[in-house]
Amino acid sequence: MTHIYRMAALALSLSVLPTTSAQAQDRQATPSTTSADALYCKERRLGYWFYCVRPSPAEEPQQPETQPVPASLELDAITSELRELKARAILYPTEANVAAYIRFQRAQLDRASLFSDVWQRAIWQDPELDYTLERPVGAVAKKQWQDARSAERDSVMARLSQRYGLFYFFSATCGPCEVMSPIVKGIADRWHITVRAISTDGGPSRHFPDYRVETNQRARLGLEGKATPALVLWDSVTKRPIPIGYGVLSADELQDRIYLLTSKEAGHDY
């Protein structure tokens, strides 16, 4: 028992030994070290078998950020799967294969219907997206648009003779020319347009008795081929021809072409 008391006293004396200045500096240098660590690792220097340096906690491996799959690849995958299911149903028409194709196809039809519905709603709510405001399709709006367009076209046609003349190429033996000649005559008389009728075969025209026989005028005006009837506007300001078309045209179509070619730039009426 006396031996035990002696050992306890020795341990107590060791625990209260005064610290040296070096030991105090070591304690100040490592403020995060606990008193127990300082006792066993600094003051007593217990050797290699005591782990005085705490291992740093192992860092968890960072998971790489998953990149979203491009929508175009998703759509390609859906299309590929649909084709595969269809091919399998055709080549191996078991009940399971056909049913699988029908289910998948129905799912894509539902997806397309949803897209169409959202498309329509977006157009209704954003006038910049609604093309029908420029070219109506409804009966009432379309009638109003056509009336406004006809009025604008008539205004252009009324001023046309101040700047443009019309070359009309025909043939006396041409069946379509017999249909087209009175149409050209009616348009010219209505809008007071000067028409120079040119016979490509030298034959007469009962609608244009003051015709001329062709002497290479077609080539000089840049007309392609020898199709008749043919119509060309002549711009007296720019001194250039404007081909209108070949074959039989209705009066309304003929006026529309003249109106567009003389007053609208490409891409402004579509």
Walk along the chain (270 residues) and give the pLDDT tens digit of each residue. Answer: 444 445 444 444 444 444 444 444 444 444 444 565 555 555 555 555 555 555 566 666 777 777 888 999 999 999 999 999 999 999 999 999 999 999 999 999 999 999 999 999 999 999 999 988 888 889 999 999 889 989 999 999 999 999 999 999 999 999 999 999 999 999 999 999 999 999 998 999 999 999 999 888 888 887 767 789 999 999 999 999 999 999 999 999 999 999 999 998 887 776
pLDDT value of position 29: 45
> What CATH code would you report for 159-263?
3.40.30.10
3-state helix, strand, coil in the chain (%, to 5): 55, 10, 35
Rounded to an integer, what distance in angstroms lies between the CA atom of residue 36 and that of residue 19?
14
Cα–Cα distances in angstroms (integers) from residue 100 to residues 39, 105, 160, 269, in the given order: 75, 9, 65, 47
Whether 115 contacts 108, CB under 8 Å: no
pLDDT value of position 81: 96
In what side-by-side order are the strands of the sheet with 230-235? Answer: 212-213, 195-199, 164-170, 230-235, 240-246
Element (H, E) at 98: helix 95-125
pLDDT value of position 33: 47
Whether 182 contacts 208, CB under 8 Å: no
Handedness of CA 171, 177, 182, 184 (dihedral sign): negative
